[in-house]
Homo-oligomer: A and B are copies of this chain.
Amino acid sequence: MTILSNEAYFANVDNKVDIPKKTIYRLSIYSRCLKRLQQNGMETVSSHALAQAANVKPAQLRKDLGCFGQLGTRGLGYPVELLLETIGDVLGRSTLQPVILVGVGNLGRALLHYDGFKKEGFEVLAAFDTNPEALKGNDLIVPLMHDDEMIPFISKHSVRMAILCVPAKYGQEVANELVAAGVQGILNFSPTIIQVPEHVVVTRVDLAMELESLSYFIDQ
């Protein structure tokens, strides 16, 4: 099993070029910055300028972009348009990725209202909870269903990614169901470590932990 626990990592898959895991992560950042530049009518950027916007070193940016061959022109910089396209291709954002969300507590509900997902190419098809009736009153945008319907739903809609927001003690159990149903990527907000088979990728976002390590790094 592979945990991309807030840093991390993966062995590369055959048909893809060998792109460092961290580079992939940064590509998303570059993409954001480039969109802003594009809106401002910029047509080219130097590695220096883009790096500054993304908060990395220029050399790092060039190395990252170097994975895709010759993209820039020396003495000039990189064409914004081309860069955006290339990154989009690599991240596979051409089509809208279907996603489901499990566990409609406070956090789950907030994430359902978060519009950033759709903006970045993900569509939350449905949300699942053990007690959907209790939540009916809320103004949810997506269909809310009972857990029992989850597995057939995943198969039917070929869902490959899930956002997991259930309480810690149900994390593993639900993860097992997700994996059994064919989910290959889990974004885990449950404050627990889940064990999954080799081919499944888990990214953990643990809010309390983020605060905890942050507090260590600030001067005392």
Contacts and interface: CB of A to CB of B under 8 A. Distances in A.
Contacts of A110: 106-107, 109-111
Nearest to A26: B5
Interface in A154-176: 160-161, 163
Contact of A210 (B106, B203, B210): B203
How many of these chains are in the complex?
2
A22 to B, nearest CB: 7
Interface stretch (A62-70, A77-85, A142-150, A191-199): A191-199
Contact of A6 (B6, B90, B109): B6
Interface of A: 1-8, 10, 13, 15, 21-22, 24-25, 28-29, 32-33, 53-55, 90-93, 97, 99, 106-107, 109-111, 113-114, 116-117, 119-122, 160-161, 163, 184-187, 191-193, 195, 199, 201, 203, 205-220
7 contacts: A25-B213, A29-B193, A92-B215, A106-B109, A109-B110, A121-B212, A161-B214
Given A21-B217, A122-B211, 12 more contacts: A7-B7, A7-B22, A15-B220, A25-B209, A110-B110, A116-B208, A119-B208, A161-B215, A185-B215, A185-B217, A187-B207, A187-B210
